[in-house]
Amino acid sequence: MEKARWRLRIHGKVQGVFFRKYAQMTAQSLGLGGFARNQPDGTVLIEVEGPPDKLELFLRWAYRGSPAAQVAQVELEKDLPLLHESTFQIG
């Protein structure tokens, strides 16, 4: 099965609104590995890996985010080296 790893930087009201927890639940439901971390500049950094079709579904979710989030922008970087992560961690 083909896998890929993507990096997303989420801008907007995304800290203090359970964004990372919802990201974890979404990634787990899709069978994706990776992590989500708050950044000092107020963004959330996510790296996620798995089948490209599942990554597309995760990306679609990221534009909405958690119920209380207000996503202003999603930066996407594709084709990162695979780390073969099978779980999704909150950092």
The answer to whether position 91 is within a domain reads no
64 as an active site residue: the answer is no
The answer to whether position 23 is within a domain reads yes
What's the pTM? 0.96
Mean pLDDT to the nearest integer, 4-10:
98
27 sits in which H/E element: helix 19-30
20 as an active site residue: the answer is yes
Q: Which of 5, 9, 37, 38 is catalytic?
A: 38
Tell me the pLDDT tens digit for each residue of 44-58: 999 999 999 999 999
**Number of folded domains that form the chain:** 1
Q: Are 32 and 55 in contact (CB under 8 A)?
A: yes
The predicted structure's pLDDT at residue 1: 73
The predicted structure's pLDDT at residue 57: 98
Q: Which of 7, 20, 37, 60 is catalytic?
A: 20
The answer to whether position 56 is within a domain reads yes
The predicted structure's pLDDT at residue 62: 98
The predicted structure's pLDDT at residue 53: 97
The predicted structure's pLDDT at residue 6: 98
Q: Are 64 and 10 in contact (CB under 8 A)?
A: no
| Domain with 16 in it | 4-81
Q: Which CATH number characterizes residue 68's domain?
A: 3.30.70.100
Tell me the pLDDT tens digit for each residue of 13-55: 999 999 999 999 999 999 999 999 999 999 999 999 999 999 9
39 φ/ψ sector (left φ>0, alpha ψ -120 to 50, else beta): beta
